[in-house]
Amino acid sequence: MSLVDPPVAALALVIGVDIGNSTTEACIADVGDGEVGRLASSLTRTTGVKGTPDNTTGAVTAVRRALEATGRPAGDLATVLLNEATPVISGLAMETITETIITESTMIGHNPDTPGGDGLGVGMTVSLDDLTTVEEEVPVVVVVGAGADFDDVAHALNTAGERGVDVVAAVLHGDDAVLVVNRLTRRIPVVDEVSAVDRVPLGMLAAVEVAAPGRTIRTLSDSYGLASTFDLDAEQTRQVSPVARALSGNRSAVVVRTPAGDVTDRRIPVGTLTLSGAGRSLDVGVDEGADAIMEAIGRVAPLDDVHGEAGTHVGGMLAKVRDTMTDVTGQPASEIRIRDVLAVDTLVPAVVRGGLAGEVSRENAVALAAMVRTSRSRMQAVADALSDELGCETIIGGVEGEVAVRGALTTPGTSVPIAIIDMGGGSTDAALLDRDGTVSAVHVAGAGELVTKLIDSELGLEDRDAAESVKRHPLAKVESFFHIRHEDGTVQFFSDPLPPHVFAKVVTVTPEGLAAVPVRGPLEEVRRVRREAKRRVFVVNALRALAQVAPQGSLRLLGSVVLLGGSALDFEIPGMVADALAPYGVVCGIGNVHGTEGPRNAVAAGLVDAHAGMVAGPAPEKLQRRAAAS
């Protein structure tokens, strides 16, 4: 390589291996007399929990791949350099803290694709079978069960109308409201696709409202509209106002007036978190939401430990994190402390209890990421296993944060003081190298996995792979068999027709092609959820972590911030973090280790550089010039 000066001393083949939470990276180089000739790098998935003997398999894979790339035999390898990796275990949990319950089947508020007719109809509920026995001039709302044919239904309604029965509306099980309305002699509002239509109470006063296309209902979604419709007094009106609120925004709705019917927004008690730190202990209810939890954490900072209530999701998650760490390190659970928690408010679609048409309401939930770290590393076991496997010496060296900063500092254009943010899967790490050469590092809970989880639950995907795809790739809408519109509005044409299963769908644009996102909502909604999830995890955590390492806690005193790790390769996260840091006058950008490696490989390359005797510190200009010249 051009970086290598003519060899003056014997060169040794050295490989730096960085075992991270999710990836193991290796950087192989010829080292001699303080000169480093980097030959190749490799990347593989970390096996087992970082800092445990299980890592050996992944480390060996990374070493072999790097060797393969150089074409050198394994016997040439003189030294393997390992980072001093300490286990970081993170966990995620989510608690839904509100629920909507409909009692006595008081209302149906949903958006079938194609309701029929429009307007408002108020009358007694009667089944289709009983329609023939209804007295004349009584306003009725006909309730039609499963399996009825649209021609038969229309015929029955028309016949009743001719007999003098005042048919004002209908509620159907099947998806045929338009078909029925098209065959009626008198146009009435019809709501269809009511899956539990058999549970609609009969003989009760009911109102059916369908709005014209592009509009939402006006009367049943308004408290006084309901009062006028059902002739309610002030007290009754106050009682039904939750119904009105629950129905707002729908294109069609049914409200049945039952003696004790109600719609309740209930808060679900989901236990408390016990936070300890700064010599005191604080209880906070998880159902108080993320802001209250984060505020409480701030009051006990620095956090010593967190406990959750047994039998709750959050309590179970915290216990599991502790147990995993016990399994990994052999430390007793009582000695393991949860050092950081990130709480995020989120809205999750949930099926309404007591709903008749599979109604979904957006319920409040709190997502929690927790992280535990231990100083007890078992890297020596990994090092011994690696030596046996590869037949060469293995050296453990370098504190993670320090080595990463050293690697980041080889990014052209950086200078001391320099901070890094390593955005990984389970935790977000920050480190700062100050002018005096001291390095401070911090790990905070919440990273890529939490983003995936938020996307998954907020979009109601229940499909981790689909959520991961939404996180990683830009969106597009398939607008015809031959063109898509990307989320930025640009249009792309395809010569070969796109497959029917993506037609008119919101898709992710992946290197393997278009993948349909299983959502009904518009692209804008998916995009908003994706960006919000990234902002609430990565932007919040970047600021939170940097504030902990920044001189006097002030972001303004940070010179430059280099983004590292897999999420620094994301198409929008680096921009979002840079935007958030811009007001503090911080230069923020994606790491480009040695001017060639991008945000990857900072630690592996840093290990090799350190081994070659290069001094980390305030004068890396020589290194940077070399990098820029290569």
Partner 1 sequence: MSGMTSPLSGVSVLGGPGCHGRIDRADDPALPPAVLVTVHDDAPPAVVREVCAGAEEQGIPTAILAPVGSGGDALARHAAGESRLEVGVGIGPDGAVVVRHALVAEPVLRLAGDAPAGRVRQAGADAARIVAGLPLRTAAQAEESSSS
Q: Which stretch binds partner 1 (CB under 8 A): 47-55, 79-87, 169-177, 613-621?
A: 169-177
445: which strand partners?
427
Whole-angstrom distance, CA of residue 557 vs CA of residue 433? 12
Instruction: Look at the block and give the residue holding tokens 């309901």.
Output: 226
Kindly state whether residue 510 participates in binding partner 1, applying the rule CB under 8 A.
no
Among 298, 327, 482, 494, binds partner 1 (CB under 8 A): 482
Asked if 182 is part of the footprint of partner 1 (rule: CB under 8 A), the reply reads yes
For partner 1, the closer CB: 438 or 480: 480
Q: At 461, is the secondary structure helix, strand, or coil?
A: coil
Decide whether 231 or 496 has the Cβ nearer to partner 1: 496
Stretches 59-67, 101-109, 358-366, 492-500: which one binds partner 1 (CB under 8 A)? 492-500
Quick one: which segment of 6-14, 385-393, 495-503, 618-626 binds partner 1 (CB under 8 A)? Answer: 495-503
CB of 360 to partner 1, least distance (A): 18
Binding to partner 1, residues 138-167 (CB under 8 A): 150-151
Q: How far is the CB of 454 from partner 1 (least distance, A)?
A: 24
Closest CA to 249 of 217, 207, 204: 217
What is the Cα–Cα distance from 91 to 244, expressed in whole angstroms?
39
Cβ proximity to partner 1: between 203 and 358 the closer is: 358
Nearest Cα to Cα of residue 16 among 47, 34, 43, 51: 43
Nearer to partner 1, 521 or 598 (CB): 521
Q: Which has the closest alpha carbon to 564: 383, 410, 398?
A: 410
Q: How far apart are CA 169 and CA 174, in angstroms?
A: 15
Q: Residue 255, SS3? A: strand
513 binds partner 1 (CB under 8 A): no
Nearest Cα neighbor of 14 from 5, 23, 378, 32 is 32
By rule CB under 8 A, what string of x and - marks binding of each residue 78-117 to partner 1?
A: -----------------------------------xx---
179 touches partner 1 (CB under 8 A): yes
| Residue 116 beta carbon to partner 1: minimum distance, rounded to whole angstroms | 9
Q: Is 622 in the site for partner 1 (CB under 8 A)?
A: no
Percentage helix, strand, coil for the chain under 3-state DSSP, each rounded to 5: 35, 30, 35
The secondary structure of 355-417, three-state, reads CCCCCEEEEEEEEEEEEEECCCCCHHHHHHHHHHHHCCEEEEEEEHHHHHHHHHCCCCCCCCC
Helix and strand counts by DSSP (H, E) for the chain = 16, 30
Angle at which helix 464-472 crosses helix 448-458, to 10 degrees, equals: 110
Residue 480 binding partner 1, by CB under 8 A: yes
**Least distance (Å) from partner 1 to the CB of residue 147?**
11
Helix (H/G/I), strand (E/B), else coil: 285: strand
Only one of the segments 51-59, 163-171, 391-399, 493-501 lies at the binding site for partner 1 (rule: CB under 8 A); that segment is 493-501
Q: How far is the CB of 151 from partner 1 (least distance, A)?
A: 8
Cα–Cα dist 352/358, whole Å: 7
212 binds partner 1 (CB under 8 A): no
The least CB distance from residue 157 to partner 1, in Å, is 15
CA distances from 4 to 9, 30, 73, 260, 593 (A): 12, 9, 20, 84, 17
505 binds partner 1, rule: CB under 8 A: yes
**Region near partner 1 per CB under 8 A, out of 173-181, 430-438, 534-542, 576-584:** 173-181
The residue (of 188 and 290) whose beta carbon lies closer to partner 1 is 188
Least distance from C-beta 518 to partner 1, angstroms?
8
Residues that bind partner 1 (CB under 8 A): 113-114, 150-151, 175-179, 182-183, 479-482, 497, 499-501, 503-505, 516
